[in-house]
A and B are shown apart, each in its own frame.
Chain A
């Protein structure tokens, strides 16, 4: 194994721990927004798709890359929009009362 791979394994392990710690603290109330959020964030595969689509490795690779860019972008755009839409709906009682007065 090369030193790079070792470092990558460390990154994976530590990120996994951080993920476990952070996500176990998210209440069931917000589990649907959580799924939408991880979905949006997983659109990060866009960075790999961009390189594939733009690096001129032949027509087939470019087509694959372009479709991948499209899919990943759809996830990023749609994912962040829908998460924001959902989170905007979660209101505390005080705010709700104010709105019904107005």
Chain B
């Protein structure tokens, strides 16, 4: 009895530490200390669990803990920051797999001991459904982000209808299982359907929509933990699962909003799947892209007062964050005011660009959110767009027929001049023409972003 109370009190204190840690994430100055507190909270919870009287043998625990530690260390220390989206997706799969296996194990235990109640079965079925769905969904997302699977949306006729009916069958099995908890067949059916739904859910999601789906899977992983908590009468799992679920939900809403699309549209829309891909430089408005050489671009940058750099996914692909920092340092040495404008959906996960630029050593005070920076573009002499496309497309404001109309964008077109770094003349992910690139203000510097930026740095030194 004393032990049980002690364990519960330990869980209570770790729950408090977790909430405080999330609170401290509100500011970069307190965030690190906060997360160290959370790690301590985790240690408390695990140590408390180890004295639980239900645990009778420790050999397997040690095997699991050591194996997990060996796998976890490289996942924490060796993964490059550019690979963060796939790293996060991968560990969602890990977390969900743990939840699913616990669900299966507890169900089997209840089955043999004949202790399954309707309520517990409901929680367990939710757990394995959400869990298995998150496992395969996250692995699919990982595959797409890592480039193992094709990144373009994969669609087939009647896809939404098929997915929805599969989902309905899963739901019906769930209801049936709750009514007759000992019917193992339906438990298996739920598991299989969860697995399939996870795969099918991510198939039609394209690269630029990944931030939404990765956040959504975060939310599902949290809800699976909540279900585990209900099934096992464990409050800490409910608390943490709820925090996790809320976080994923808020992020996916924020991402959808930043693309001006509803959740449903992201999940069922398969945006841009019919577009033709790369095309020649001419646009609907008939303008031509004007190319610029690195030395001219360098002169323009060097003699300006205010420069705003707009990084996009292309920066992460080219891994050019360190070159960008050197360029910014060069400019600042000449007295140029340099800041960075970061769109909420730049990159493949929420906040990805911030981490990359912070990694390169750029202070976070120079990394500005869309709302803060949009008024400042009109003061900027040069805006340097690096591998970003849709998030700076003025068609989102002006062209009602454009598929991205209404999406909040960075007002790059307000600047006095714009230099766009781009690999080639092709269209962006959404396949939409970008009027900015053909406007008289804009000059295009074609080539690999990393090389172009390094060259700009060299040229500026010589100015």
Contacts and interface: CB of A to CB of B under 8 A. Distances in A.
Partners in one complex: yes
Interface of A: 1-2, 4-5, 8, 11-12, 15-16, 18-20, 22-58, 60-62, 64-93, 95-96, 99
Contacts of B54: 51, 54-55
Contact of A84 (B36, B101, B359): B36
B31 interface: yes
A54 B57 contact: yes
B35 A83 contact: yes
B358 A89 contact: yes
Contacts of B225: 42, 44-45
A28 B91 CA distance: 21
B264 interface: no
Contact of B349 (A4, A35, A44, A80): A35
A70 B355 CA distance: 28
B215 A20 contact: no
A56 B215 CA distance: 36
Contacts, number: 373
Given A8-B229, A16-B246, A79-B91, A51 B55 contact: yes
Interface stretch (B165-173, B186-194, B230-238, B384-392): B230-238
Contacts of A84: 32, 35-36, 39
Contacts of A91: 358, 361, 363-364
A68 B102 contact: yes
Contact of A47 (B21, B236, B245): B236
B152 interface: no
Dominant SS among interface residues on chain B: helix
A89 B360 CA distance: 8
Nearest to A53: B60
A79 to B, nearest CB: 6
B366 A52 contact: no
Dominant secondary structure of chain A at its interface with chain B: helix
Contact of A61 (B15, B108, B236, B350): B108
B61 A54 contact: yes
A84 B358 CA distance: 13
Contact of B56 (A15, A27, A54, A71): A54
21 contacts: A1-B119, A8-B235, A16-B246, A19-B244, A23-B22, A37-B35, A39-B92, A40-B38, A44-B14, A44-B45, A45-B95, A50-B49, A52-B101, A54-B54, A55-B54, A64-B105, A69-B60, A81-B75, A81-B77, A82-B75, A92-B28
Contacts of A69: 60-61, 64-65, 68, 98
Contacts of A70: 63-65, 67-68, 71
Contacts of A22: 19, 22-23, 26, 243
Given A48-B237, A85-B77, A41 B104 contact: no
Interface in B59-107: 60-61, 63-65, 67-69, 71-77, 79, 81, 84, 87-88, 91-92, 94-95, 97-99, 101-102, 104-106
